Amino acid sequence: MGIDKSMYTGELVRLRALEMSDLNDIMRFFNTLELRRYLGPPIVRSRKYMEEWLQKVSIWEPWKDGQLVLAIEEKKTGQFLGIARLEDILLPHNRAEAGISIYDPTKRGKGYGKDAMLVLLGVGFNILGLHSIYLDTMEDNERSIRIYEKIGFKRVGLLRETEYIDGVRKGLLIMDMLQSEYDTKYPEGTFTHPK
C-alpha cells in the first residue's frame, strides 16, 4: 500500500485533506438540484454556511468526532472532483457509513467514483481498522448499485419509502462490506504508488 504523505492514492484519484482553497470548487456545483437531490434535503446553502462547514470538517478527528471527510482529486491534474466521507464511526463496533460524491456532472461515469470508493475502503479498513463499512443509495439508482456490487458490497436491506424526492416516496437500499470480505477481494489493498 503506497501512501503519498497526506494523500491516499488510487488508479485515477487521490483522497486528501479538505482545504479552504476547495471552497470555490465546492460552491460551483453544490447548489444544483442534480447533485443535491441525492445528498440529503436539496436546500440551498450560502457561501458563508459552506465556509463554516469546511472549517469544521477540515479539523475533525475520525475517532473523536466520528467523521472523516476528504477531497477527491483527479490524480493526473489535481482537479477537485468531489467529496469522500466516512461518517458515524462508532467504537467499539468499528463501523462507519461511507459516501462519495462527484460534483461535476461531466466527470461522472468515468470511473472516478468507483476508484474513490475503493481508496476510501482502503482508508477505512487498513488505516482506521474498521470491521464493517455500509452505505445507502436510492433503491432505483441502478448505476450506483451495479458499481457498489462490483466493488464487493452486499445488499442487506431496504428502508421503505424513507426519502421524498421530486414528489415521490422512494426507499433506501442498504449495502455493506465486512473487513474479511474486503481482505479476500483486495488482498493487497486498493492503493497504488503515485506515478
CATH code, domain carrying 61: 3.40.630.30
**What does the alpha-carbon distance between residue 183 and residue 168 come to, in Å, rounded to a whole number?**
39
Residue 191 forms part of a structural domain? no
Residue 73 forms part of a structural domain? yes
Cα end-to-end distance, the chain, whole Å: 14
Residue 123 DSSP class: I
Residue 57 forms part of a structural domain? yes
C-beta of residue 92 within 8 angstroms of C-beta of residue 132? no
Residue 134 forms part of a structural domain? yes
**Domain extent at residue 19:** 3-185
**What does the alpha-carbon distance between residue 153 and residue 185 come to, in Å, rounded to a whole number?**
11
- Residue 104 phi, psi dihedral angles, 5° rounding: -80, 115
Tens digit of pLDDT at every position of the chain (195 positions): 344 444 799 999 999 999 999 999 988 887 666 666 666 667 778 889 889 989 998 888 887 888 999 999 999 999 999 999 999 998 888 999 999 999 888 898 899 999 999 999 999 999 999 999 999 998 988 889 999 999 999 999 999 998 877 788 989 999 999 999 999 998 876 554 333
Q: Provide the number of structural domains found in the chain.
A: 1
Residue 162 forms part of a structural domain? yes
